[in-house]
């Protein structure tokens, strides 16, 4: 795995620039974004016909571009979060997070033990550089987790959501 492009961009420039994609269905989109100088790409699975399998091809084609791929899943649930990460996402945005408990489910679903409950799996062999423990530590450190607050309940609990370690 490469260094987290988002953290690097923020450290170097104080900001990260990216694009949220809905229906730009080509495996080369990550290369286009890299040429444009993007630090990240956020792919929405809630409002599109994309699924994890279609993004697996986009993420594989985009490896080595330096663009940090993030998947916006349908909900902050293990059955949505883990497959997106296993497909190659390096971050998750979960919509409609309304409580700290939901934010904790997001973190637990995205992190390997001891920080979470994600089952171990890798897409590409080079992700195992240093062994499984090193791969899990890199993923826990580098995967970005975004709890999207979109409702009155979420606004009421925004401080508690933001305070969840890993968000």
Q: List residues with catalytic annotation.
A: 47
Cis peptide before 114 (omega within 30 of 0): yes
Contact (CB, 8 A) for 71 and 92? yes
> Where are any strands of DSSP class E within the chain?
18-21, 40-44, 68-72, 91-94, 144-147
Question: What's CA 37's distance to the chain center, in Å?
Answer: 19
């Amino acid at each position: 795995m490469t260094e987290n492009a988002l953290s690097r961009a923020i450290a170097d420039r104080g900001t990260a620039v990216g694009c949220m994609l809905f229906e730009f269905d080509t495996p080369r989109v990550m290369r286009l974004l890299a040429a444009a100088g993007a630090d990240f790409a956020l792919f929405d699975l809630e409002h599109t016909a994309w699924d994890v399998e279609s993004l697996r091809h986009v993420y594989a084609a985009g490896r080595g571009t330096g663009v940090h791929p993030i998947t916006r899943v349908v909900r902050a649930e293990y059955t949505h979060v883990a497959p997106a990460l296993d497909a190659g996402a390096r971050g998750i945005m979960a919509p409609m997070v309304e409580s700290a408990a939901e934010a904790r489910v997001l973190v637990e679903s995205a992190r390997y033990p001891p920080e979470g409950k994600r089952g171990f799996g890798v897409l590409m062999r080079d992700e195992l550089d240093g062994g499984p423990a090193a791969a899990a530590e890199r993923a826990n450190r580098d995967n970005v987790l975004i709890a999207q607050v979109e409702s009155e309940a979420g606004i009421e609990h925004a401080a508690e959501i933001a305070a969840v370690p890993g968000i």
